[in-house]
Structure 1
Amino acid sequence: MSVTYAAGSTRMEAVARRVCLELLEPVHLVAYMSDEPTEELQALGYESYRPGYFAARSAPLGKVPAEVVDALFYNFAPGEVARCIPSVWDVATPGAVLAARQAGSVKALRRILGDLADSPALACAADLAIRVATNAPMEGRILYAALRSLPVPDEPVARLWHAATLLREHRGDGHLTALVAAGIDGQEAHVLQALHSGMKPSDYGRLDPLTPDQLAAVVDGLRTRGLVDASGELTPAGRETKTRIESTTDALAAPAYTTVTPDELDQLTAALQPIAARIKSAGYRS
């Protein structure tokens, strides 16, 4: 099935958005939204979710300081990262954490996908996705580059999950570039996303760590810059800024998908559709 795309975007930008966000991100998200990865991390000694999360996602970087992780993760509230990094490395090594995360994610995917896990379509999707994921531009993409330094699994389900993780973090690194270029910091990004989605910032879960006064200060800063109006809604300039950030993110992600032919992209899309649908039907959505 051919990929369709909205007017105003190039075909490759539309492919980059659809394949990563709609079809591969659900594969990656089991790492955060399933019991199995959490249980594997708890078996290492991480007693609560948040330390395990910071350990698992930052493990490709090795034992770097909290400031580095905070800069790369970008949008956590002040102090959140430092409460876990570097103390998480007193519990287990980065290598042990990476192995636990992958093992738990594969277990979760096999449970959710059932017979699809051993299908030729999944093996095909894994091979095509890993080719895209390991040939994307690396310059300026620190977390993606760290993941690229890891060995590529041979087993198809692990291979697909690894590819999804690579492309998700490749896109994420590009998204941070777009945010920095637009002058939007991590907490402002959450406010823009909340308002763009029709939510009040106070109801947006990623902003929960902020106190009411801290959240009000973030919104006031956007209002001062003309991005939020007096009623707390996005202004035309705010909507344009959000659209520009997303368009830039798509454009920065697109070159990865030029490493396969148009027919192979259609083949990858067709193979991923039933996989993503099965995962989404189990409640795993971005």
Structure 2
Amino acid sequence: MTRIARRMHELLEPLCLVTFFADECHQELAALGHRTYWDGYFASRAAPLGRVPAQVVHAAFYNFADGEVARHIPSAWETIPPEASLAARERGSAASLRRILGPELAGSPGLVRAADLTARAATSAPTEGRVMYAGLRTVPVPQDPVARLWHCATMLREHRGDGHIAALLGARIGGTEAHVLSALDQGIHPPESFGRIHHLPKERLAAVMNGLRERGIVGTDGHFTDTGRAVKQRIEDLTDELAAAPYEALPPAELDELIAVLEPLTAKVVAAGSR
């Protein structure tokens, strides 16, 4: 089942990324009055948690630097209700998927079937220890097939993300350290140039790199050591294992069917760069 979890991640992640890359979601959030991309990002993604303090969002998201969340939460909710941001996120994401897929794929029986099967998986897993996933489970599943597919793919993404955080914690890898490992895994060198962390203070990045060197995860050349590669692989393997539960709700024949109907949809979105 871990193999299925990895394959489903490969197929569903591009569908979720339209939220962050495509124009429609940004436009919907800006139309509400969010002044910046990050105001809209934090306000809409954290909305299922309710009006919680920045410290709670920081803990749930895990990989943002100290103070980054507090620049946007709760101020982004002061004049725009969380529910409105969440609805705008859904509208924009569904609109971008519909545009990228085109009328033939967006209106196809395959997409409807993909949405239905993904919804069954996404609403079946236990919520214990899954803060972001549990929050999204409280949100009604959309009736429109394109919106339903995006919403349920995003639920599964947050379920996987909650498990990934558990794997990182077990390996004693902090949020900024996780970005370094991800950068190295993608072949980015120096890892401090990675877009998610390059803006952080140099002293902070130096401390993170020194800590990874002291633990033998990164060598003096700034690349993975054998130990570091093994740590990264253990985290990924455990993430896949922890992400498997939703797919146990589908029998093997339906899992095969879900993969088959998702493949042409995801291929189209990947070809567009999720934009």
Query: TM-score per shorter chain, which class?
Result: over 0.9
Q: Of residues 140, 158, 166 in structure 1, which corresponds to 2:147?
A: 158
Q: Of residues 180, 185, 193 in structure 1, which corresponds to 2:182?
A: 193
Gaps of 5+ in 1: 1-11
CA distance in 1, matches of 2:7, 2:79: 38
SS of equivalent residue, structure 2 residue 254:
helix
CA distance in 2, matches of 1:153, 1:193: 33
CA distance in 2, matches of 1:36, 1:81: 23
CA distance in 1, matches of 2:23, 2:186: 28
Residues matched between the structures, number: 273
SS of equivalent residue, structure 1 residue 192:
helix
Which letter does structure 2 place at the counterpart of 1:36? E
Misfit runs of 4+, over 6 Å: none
Q: Of residues 39, 55, 69 in structure 1, which corresponds to 2:57?
A: 69
Gaps of 5+ in 2: none
Deviations 1:132-172 (A, max 9, x none): 00001211001100100111111100110111010000000
- Residue aligning to 1:122: 111
Note if contact 1:152-1:159 (Cα within 8 Å) is conserved in structure 2.
yes
CA distance in 1, matches of 2:213, 2:20: 33
CA distance in 1, matches of 2:25, 2:220: 44
RMSD value over aligned CA atoms?
1.0
Note if contact 1:74-1:176 (Cα within 8 Å) is conserved in structure 2.
yes
Deviations 1:3-59 (A, max 9, x none): xxxxxxxxx101101112x11111111111111111110111002101100001100
User: Normalising to structure 2: TM-score of the pair?
Assistant: 0.97
Q: Of residues 26, 35, 55 in structure 2, which corresponds to 1:47?
A: 35
Which letter does structure 2 place at the counterpart of 1:140? G
CA distance in 2, matches of 1:75, 1:54: 13
SS of equivalent residue, structure 1 residue 82:
helix
Q: Of residues 117, 124, 130 in structure 2, which corresponds to 1:141?
A: 130
Kindly, what percent of the aligned residue pairs are identical? 58
SS of equivalent residue, structure 1 residue 112:
helix
Deviations 1:231-267 (A, max 9, x none): 1111111111100000110000112111001010010
SS of equivalent residue, structure 2 residue 71:
coil
CA distance in 2, matches of 1:70, 1:79: 9
CA distance in 1, matches of 2:194, 2:79: 31
Matched, 1:175 2:164: yes
| Cα distance, 1:91–1:209 mapped onto 2, change above 3 Å | farther
CA distance in 1, matches of 2:154, 2:41: 14
